[in-house]
Structure 1
């Protein structure tokens, strides 16, 4: 029987706090997030799985909790010992680097998008040379608008019988919002024209 969705866990969350994003782009924190994105774990469970000191696991969890990225979903008391179980605050977390510029830094997603463009060759999209800049520009604007639309639905609560149905409901809701949105339609058209140019080069 599928696990009933935890009402304390959001389905979607957009993170734009620069300090929170730095944590999520650091390996030791992403390792913990990967472990607890689908089920709860205690500090000792995490430390054992990642082969790290329980004190380090506890410190990393407290840092993630400070930025609202993880939360305690359950506690067990055995004698004088309280065992806390953690989960990510949302099943799907999206990063929005636009606030980095506001605090004087570079959008950390910029380098990510460049790497992404370079990995699309095996899928039939040779985005290289002079096409990388225009592609990244469109993707940056597309990503920014998508995060704005995600914010519109991130606080909506659905109560299905299983997690897969909830995830699909958010995915379809986002797709419908993108379809209705004039800015997204214009960006898709820009991308289509750019892809034609890329195809013409081959």
Structure 2
């Protein structure tokens, strides 16, 4: 079956399949998703940008396409050569780690390493979190992230891009909808207070 161009780029996509999340977190595929986040590129464009051979670029693109993360959006024919162009299936792709609770006993969640790296990267922003305080903060961040993904799923399901053709307006509508939901949601508000308390304990009295 041949590919067919698909212009149905979503504004928001929440990925909750554990295998797909592992694939993205491995880094081998996230580079491609980042490249084609807001622009269309061919296999040769991607292979040149990432300095990998075209076969590897093609394989990774097809794997991302199979999992619904990439769409082929345009074909360009020059002589007997057909060049295909790809885009990420959504402008904003979020990972939902809630399904990692179904991991086999003793199997580590890839999200654990992600949060460790994330906390380490907060130091340059003025948030030096000691190892003995990292656990509660990671737990609060996980719960905040889980609730955020639930709200984003609601926003994704609204599908306003089917009602309005102005992509800039649609993007702003999603942004404002998320802002309002974040302000109104009691669960997120409670977790923010937890984080504020944890941070004040780390920083000490001012």
Fold shared, TM-score > 0.5 on shorter chain: yes
1:189 and 2:193 matched: yes
Match of residue 176, structure 1, among 167, 173, 180: 180
RMSD: 2.1
Relative distance call for 1:115 and 1:28 in structure 2 (3 A) is closer
TM-score (structure 2 length as normaliser): 0.85
1:123 and 2:125 matched: yes
Aligned to 2:10: 10
SS in 2 for 1:68: coil
1:199 and 2:203 matched: yes
Aligned to 1:3: none
Aligned to 1:36: 36
Aligned to 1:132: 134
Give yes or no for contact 1:98–1:107 (8 Å, CA) kept in 2.
no
- Structure 2: runs of 5 or more not aligned: 1-5
Aligned to 1:157: 160
Distance 1:7 1:60 in 2: 20
Distance 1:177 1:119 in 2: 27
Aligned to 2:58: 58
Aligned to 2:82: 82
CA displacement, residues 71-102 of structure 1 (integer Å, 9 cap, x when unaligned) = 11111233443221100001111111221231
Aligned to 2:146: 144
Distance 2:120 2:170 in 1: 33
Relative distance call for 1:64 and 1:166 in structure 2 (3 A) is same
Aligned to 2:3: none
Relative distance call for 1:118 and 1:51 in structure 2 (3 A) is closer
Relative distance call for 1:55 and 1:122 in structure 2 (3 A) is closer
CA displacement, residues 118-138 of structure 1 (integer Å, 9 cap, x when unaligned) = 222232222113211110110
Shift of 1:161: 4.3
